[in-house]
Amino acid sequence: GENVEQHPSTLSVQEGDSAVIKCTYSDSASNYFPWYKQELGKRPQLIIDIRSNVGEKKDQRIAVTLNKTAKHFSLHITETQPEDSAVYFCAANPGYSTLTFGKGTMLLVSP
Amino acid sequence: EPEVTQTPSHQVTQMGQEVILRCVPISNHLYFYWYRQILGQKVEFLVSFYNNEISEKSEIFDDQFSVERPDGSNFTLKIRSTKLEDSAMYFCASSEGVRGRSPLHFGNGTRLTVT
């Protein structure tokens, strides 16, 4: 099955800095890559997703890039704000199966 | 915006007891899922359900677990004889389209504590 590795496990940045979270996946059949944000004690919420026919997708301060050859994808958050503090999970889906999540990155944005 | 709803929000049970966790998926969604998250760890897949049957399950989803869609709206997870290690947050999710290729919408979760 699919295996998703996520780094770093924690990331501390100053408000206004950029944050980058990286994930790798193992199954070359994976074709859908969502990112979820989970605030403490709350549900994971989809913030952005990308499909394998696209290399990059942007939504305001959030962008995701995908390198199919290297089997990795990244989340980029620019101009970070304290409310961006949360745990971020990447996930991958090989189409024949359901989503496999990474272990999560705790992002801390200091004012 | 429609949401997945789960009840109860918290459930405390004694080891060996049966629990039923309830979910109401988003009404036009076709795929339903249960995931669990042990405190501080990643979200782990348990089972997916489509067209009134299990379409996929993980190694975690052993014989003590079962799922059911008893009517047109509810989707339940039953744990027959709970163990201490079943303590976790259980999330129900649903998606509109093809399994795994449409965004998952999660409920707020049920925190299960087994004592």
The predicted-structure confidence for A30-61, as pLDDT tens digits, reads as follows 999 999 999 988 899 999 999 888 899 999 99
Instruction: Give the model's pLDDT for residue B71.
Output: 86
Query: Tell me, what DSSP letter sits at residue A42?
Result: S
Q: pLDDT value at position A1?
A: 78
Query: Comparing C-alpha atoms, which of A103, A77, A89, A99 is closest to residue A31?
Result: A99
Residue B98's pLDDT is 66
Q: Which residues of chain A have pLDDT under 70?
A: 96
Are the beta carbons of A100 and B45 separated by less than 8 Å?
Answer: yes
Residue type at A85 in one-letter notation: S
The pLDDT tens digits for B37-57 are: 998 888 999 999 998 899 999
Q: How many Cβ atoms from other residues are within 10 Å of residue A60's Cβ?
A: 9
The partner residues of B66 in beta bridges, in order of sequence, read B78
Classify the phi-psi angles of B66: left when phi > 0, otherwise alpha if psi is within -120 to 50, otherwise beta. Answer: beta
- The pLDDT score that the predictor gives to residue A36 is 96
pLDDT of residue B70: 85
With a cut of 50, list the residues of chain B below it in pLDDT. none
Check: CB of residue A1 under 8 Å from CB of residue A100.
yes
**CA A73, CA B96: separation in Å to the nearest integer?**
24
Q: Does the beta-carbon distance from A99 to B45 stay under 8 Å?
A: yes
Instruction: Name the nearest CA neighbour of B109 among B14, B21, B41, B19.
Output: B21
pLDDT at B100: 59
Residues within 8 A of B (CB atoms), A 37-96 only: 42-46, 49, 51, 89, 93-95
Look at residue B99 in the predicted model and tell me its pLDDT.
58
Name B58's Cβ contacts closer than 8 Å, sequence gap at least 6: B44, B45, B46, B47
- DSSP E strand boundaries for chain A: 4-7, 10-14, 19-25, 32-38, 45-51, 56-59, 62-67, 72-77, 86-92, 100-101, 105-110
Written as six digits, the tokens of A65 are: 């890039």
**CA–CA separation, A50 vs A29, rounded Å?**
14
A45 contacts B100? CB cut-off 8 A = no
For residue B39, give how far its alpha carbon lies from the nearest alpha carbon of chain A (Å).
10
